[in-house]
Structure formats: structure tokens, C-alpha cells
Amino acid sequence: MSPYCWRMAEETWNSLDGRADAVVQAGRIGELHQHLYAGEAPAQPVPFQLPPAPAWFENRRDEQERIARAVRDHPAQQGPLVVALTGIGGIGKTALGFHVARGLVDRYPDGVLYVDLDDLRRDGVVEVSDAVGELLSGLGVSPEWWERSLGGRTKQLWSRTRDKRIVVVVDNARYGAEVVPLLPASDRGLVIVTSQGALYDLDGTAAVEVPVGPLAVDDAVRLLGRLVADPRLTEEPDAAVDLARGCGGLPAALQVAGQWVRKYRRRSLSRLVEELAAELRGKGIPMVEAVWDAAYASLAPDSARLYRVLPQLPGQRIQELTAAALLGRDPAAAGDALEELESAGLLEGSAEGWRMHSLLRGHAERRARQEDRDGTERAGARRSLIAWYRRQAARADLLAAGERMTFATTPEPVAASVPDVGLPGKPEALRWLESHRSALYGCVRLAFEDGLYEDAWALCEPLWTHFLDHPHYADITDAFRTGVAAADRMEHLPAMVRMRCQLARPLWEQRLYDEAAEQLRHALAAAAALGESPGELKLRASTVEFQGLFKAETGDWAGAAADFEAAKAAHAEIGNVYGVLLQTYLLGRTALRSGRHQEAVALLGEAHRMAGLQERERMTARAGFELGRALRLAGRPEEAHPLVSAALDGARARGSRTDEVRVLEELASLADDRGDTRVAREHRTAANRIAVQYGGASPGDQSS
């Protein structure tokens, strides 16, 4: 717990005049928490993360009754109830989970959260800490307040869900181990999990498995009638039964069949069934496959080609520009193709674009193998997509981070007809990098697998900018390892150095110190072979800086200072004034953290002066804040106050809540030094209010 939290808790405890003992003895810890934080955090809206209810939902009465009985009979003091809906893809598990959750909102008034683990799955493995982060966002916790580790984020989730009557819907789980960290702390909570197979490792949970099977034929016919509302279904009841039976009771297949029936309104239902049956007999595949094949056969050439190559797109989201990049066509043509695929029931539309159901993705891959036997079409689509993403990521990086040391060139447009994404400024660039991160990480892997090694490591350069704000460690570590391997395959010396430095940081931040040290050792050895051009000299100095940052991370202050001094001298020799400024700042911060306050004042004062001259706004604020801290610790609080106050203004202007809390803590310490306890308390109260509002770890919940 930070000092201001301890002091605030102690002051509030003392102000209770003995009532705290009574509160604790009575076991009413929540009441004490209310005393500590009364009036400090605005009420958060009740989350409800389910899509609008569909106009149709058919049967599942047995499953719903079993779930209702489990909810009714769930005993207290046994943790949240976990209901596992299991069955094959396309069987309607998610729709059932949503339907049940909507029906229980009165029993669980604290909200409904939703997370789709397939959105966070990479090579079959879920980044569970990101899944916990998704739930924390739903609970009002801003991403900048998420703890770094899975354990820390799980504690935040427990703190936010304690005693809550809440529903959590976890979609597309494969293992119980993926689900357990997502459980709320309350035994009055309900967790609805969907999975294609049984989850045998839900250890220590009150779990009820509810298998979800195919719809009965009568229910399937009724669902088809609601989807289509076509008179032929009543005029030709036997054909309707045959069609529903042929879909195998899969709601996803019935939806596609409904699109097929709606499209061919002049044909008899019997004729449609016969045509689909002929497809089945001719190809020897299940009727569901025949439904999709028939829908595919009706597509225009561009739409059919897009359908075949869409599985090459990493991530779940499909948009016009990414489809255009795959096709090498203009967005209007790509949009028409996407709309035709949606109309044919082969894509799902949403406000954010389109998605391809996993079963349909498999079908598209089968069609591609049949019609693109040598893989030329798919390889060309991948090359076009990778080149487009590389170009957009480089453009976003330039806007987000400005001119900085990079070694890959920005590629030309993939085709005259495929435009760039619109990026008006830095905020839009940062949002684009975050929203497309799954595709960017996937393109790194695709590029390496296809032997496009320059594209693989070049994509890692803008991912560095994204990582600094969004540390998704599993993804970034995998991507940077691939970048290292790609640079080695090309024997591109600057990339070999840079990629290893980039990989070292997420490694040491995850406390993988030995591996980080090994990467830096190889980077330094490679840097020694660099030439004498200004760019190469700058890279060599940067590599020494990374070594200094690693030493500071592990508490080797003297070693860190020596590296920063060496890097500073190298930057001075080549006239890189920003490099000199940065190393001066790092030297001052190292001196401050190691207790050499007077030295820190001199160094940080110089860094602050240089940042102002270079018009480096963010560095001016950073150096000013650290200088203010150094002045206070050196016994010069009257000089510190204007610097720290300016830092507060800067933090608020940037909207950085974490920086605002740090500055408020420092202002409180300055007030303590003046003996102004009232102002100190006001600053700490404000800091605590922000921490609570934006999801900082509660006292006692912070991870080690």
C-alpha cells in the first residue's frame, strides 16, 4: 500500500473514536470500508454487456429448467455457481447463455459481464490476464489501472465483485483453467460458461454441466419459420421437416438455410430440398455442409474469392479495408462482397464490422483447398494483407510517437485501389493500433511462416509503441521473439540489435531476468559490429541505455549510472541532443532512487532546462516532477512546489490519471513538510478518490 493510503486509513481509523473496533468485532468490514471511502467514488453504472435480445428463441426448456433449479438450490458459502453449457459449435450455446442471463437480471441486480475467450486466444492459448482485464473494464476499471500480473488483476476482480449479485458469461472456453481466474468473489454470483467439450478441471468450484444438444425437429421447424416467415413452410410441411432435419438441429445451419429459402422465393421448398440433397449425395458430406456449399455456390466471383481467403485474416473482426487488402480491390467492391456474404448467411454482421463463425471458417478453408490447390490465391492474399498492415502500422507509429529511431521503410500502397486507413492525429493512431492489435500480432506470425522476414521484424517496430501503453505480455513477447528470429534469418544487423532490445524489456518486466540478460548480451555483441554512421552510433548508444534500464530494474544503481553516462557521451559525440537529454534525465532519476538527492537535483534541473529548450512537452513535465521530488527530499520544498503544481496541470491536461495520483501524493508530502495537515489530507483524499473511481487496487489488494 502506498504511504498516502496508509496515512489516510490511519487518520480515518482514529477519527472513528473506537467505533472501528466494534465494526471489526461485528465482522462488518464493508461498513468500515464505507467509513474509509464514504463519498469519495461516484457510483458506477450497472454493467450489462449482452447484445439486444433476438426476435426469436426456440425451446431449450429442459436446459433452462435445469439451470433455474441449480440457481435456486445453490448453497451459500460455496463460491459462485458455475453453469457449463457444453455442445458442438453452432448448437446455440451462446444464445442460450444470453437468454438465461437476460431472464435473471432481477435476481442478479449488480449487472451482467461478458467475455469471449476466442477473441483473446492465440495459437490455442488464451491470455487470461487480458480476459480478467475485459471484466475489470466492465466493472469500471480503466485499463491504465489494471495490475500487470494475472494475480494482481485477479485480486482487483475479487475486490470489485465481493458480495455482488452478478452474472458473468464466459464464451468459448476450452479448459476450466481458463475460467477459474474469471470467477467473481461472491457466492451470490453466477457464471455461465460455454464450451464445445466438458470442462473437467473446474477445480474447487460449484459447477453444473448442462449439455446442449441439437434442436428437436419440431423445434427446428418452428425456429426456421421464425427466421424466414415464408408461406412455403406451411404449404409444404413435409419439405420443411426435411429441410430442418437436414440441418441437424444446428441453429447456425438453420440460419443459413433460412437465408437460402428467402433468397429463392420463386422455387418450391421441395425443389430446394432436392437440390440440397443432391449436393449431399454428390459430395458425401453432412447436410449442414451441403447447406453452406449451396449458399457458396450462389455467390458472385468476388464474394466467393473473399470467402475463400477470409480465414487468412488473423483475429475475429472483419472490416471493409481489411477485406479490400485481402482482395486487392477498392473498399466499395469489398463492401459489396461482405454484404453478399452476410445476405447468404455466411458472415455475421455487427456495428463494428463482420465476424465469421468458426464452423463457417472451417467450411471456407475446405472450399479454398478444393479450388486453390496450390495455395497461390491464399498466399497472395496473405502478402497483400501483411503489406497493408505494415504500411498502416508504420503510419500510426509515426503519428503516435513522432520521429524516432526505426530501421524499416514504410512500404508503398499494396494497390492503387486499396486506400490507407484515415488517421487524423495521435489519439486516432493509438486507438487504431489497439483495436487492430490481434491482426498485427497475427501478421507477424504469418509473415515469418511465409518467409517474409523483413515484414515480420518491420511490424515489430510499431508494436513497440503500442506495447508501451498496452503491455499485453504474452502477445508482445511472442511477437518480439519472432522479430528476433526474422532479423537473424535476414542477417540485418541493426534489426538484430533492435529486436533483442525490444524483447528484453517485456522479459524483465515479467521478472524473466536471466532471459532478458541473455538477449541484451547478444544485442551488445551485435552492436559492437555496427558501423560508424550516425544511425548505427545512435543504435549502439541506445543498446547501452537498455542495459542501464535493466540494471536499474534489478537495483544495480551504480551500473545503471555508468551505462547512462556512456550512452550520453555517445549521443553527445554525434550531436543527438534529445539522446543527451534523455540520458541526463535517466541519470537524475537513478540518483534520486538511490538516495543521492543533491546530485539528482543538479541532473534533473539540467534535464528540465534542456527539455524546455527542445520544446519536449512530455519530457518537460516528467523531468519537472522528478526535480520537484528531488528538491523536497533535499530539503528545499519551497522550490519544489511550483514544479510539482505544474506537473499536476500537465497530468490533468493529458488525462493521465495515474500521473495525477502520483503528483497529488507528492503535493501531500510537500504539505506535510510545511505542517499543513489540512491541505495534505485534501490532496490524499483527491488521490484516493481517483484511485477508487478508476479501479486502482484497494488497500491490501495490491499485488506484490
CATH number at residue 258: 1.10.8
The confidence score (pLDDT) of residue 104 equals 93
Least confident range of 384-393, 403-412, 554-563? 403-412
Inside any domain, residue 96: yes
Domain boundary among 211, 227, 248: 211
User: Is the pLDDT assigned to residue 282 strictly greater than 70?
Assistant: no
Looking at 247, 270, 297, the residue that finishes a domain is: 297
> What's the average model confidence in pLDDT over 286-300?
74
> How far, in Å, CA of 597 to CA of 531, rounded?
39
Whether 85 and 170 map to the same domain: the answer is yes
Q: How sure is the predictor about 290, in pLDDT bands with cuts at 50, 70 and 90?
A: low
Q: 322 in a domain, yes or no?
A: yes
Summarize the confidence of residues 15-35 as an average pLDDT.
Answer: 42
Q: Do residues 472 and 127 lie in contact, with contact meaning Cβ atoms separated by under 8 Å?
A: yes
Are 232 and 251 part of one and the same domain? yes
The more confident residue out of 429 and 499 is 499
Is 363 in contact with 289 (CB distance < 8 Å)? yes
Of residues 123, 119, 125, the one with CA closest to residue 175 = 125
Identify the domain containing residue 12 by its residue range.
Answer: 3-37
Q: Are 151 and 89 part of one and the same domain?
A: yes
Same structural domain for residues 189 and 135? Answer: yes
Residue 429 domain flag: no
pLDDT at position 609: 95
Question: Same domain, yes or no, for 118 and 72?
Answer: yes
Evaluate if residue 100 carries a pLDDT over 60.
Answer: yes
CATH number of domain containing 189 = 3.40.50.300
What was the pLDDT predicted at 696?
A: 59
Mean pLDDT of 300-306: 95
Name the domain count of the chain: 4
With contact defined as beta carbons under 8 Å apart, do 547 and 520 qualify? Answer: yes
Say whether both 24 and 144 belong to one domain. Answer: no
With 50 as the cut, is the pLDDT of residue 349 above it? yes
pLDDT tens-digit series, residues 29-40: 444 444 444 444
Both 87 and 159 in one domain: the answer is: yes
Q: 578 lies in a domain?
A: no
Residue 354 in 3-state DSSP? strand
- 508 vs 256: CA distance, rounded Å: 50
**Poorest-pLDDT segment among 137-146, 420-429, 572-581, 654-663:** 654-663
Average pLDDT of 587-601?
94
Q: Report CA-CA distances (Å) from 526 to 518, 534, 538, 550, 576.
A: 12, 17, 14, 18, 22
Shared domain for 289 and 305, answered yes or no, is no
The answer to whether residues 398 and 451 touch, using CB atoms and an 8 Å cutoff, is no
Instruction: Work out the burial of residue 455: count CB atoms within 10 Å of its CB; fewer than 13 is exposed, 13-18 middle, 19 or more buried.
Output: buried
Same domain, 67 and 145: yes
| 189 in a structural domain | yes
Assigned domain for 362 exists: yes
One domain, residues 196 and 72? yes
Partners of 125 in beta bridges: 122
Q: Which of 373, 391, 408 is the last residue of a domain?
A: 373
Q: Decide which of 190 and 206 is more confident.
A: 190
Within a 10 A sphere around the Cβ of 42, how many other Cβ atoms?
A: 10
Looking at the structure, do residues 367 and 269 belong to the same domain, yes or no? no
In a domain, 291, yes or no: yes
Does residue 649 lie in a domain region?
A: no
Same domain, 22 and 99: no
Which positions ≥6 away from 418 have C-beta within 8 Å? 321, 324, 325, 328, 329, 330, 331, 384, 388
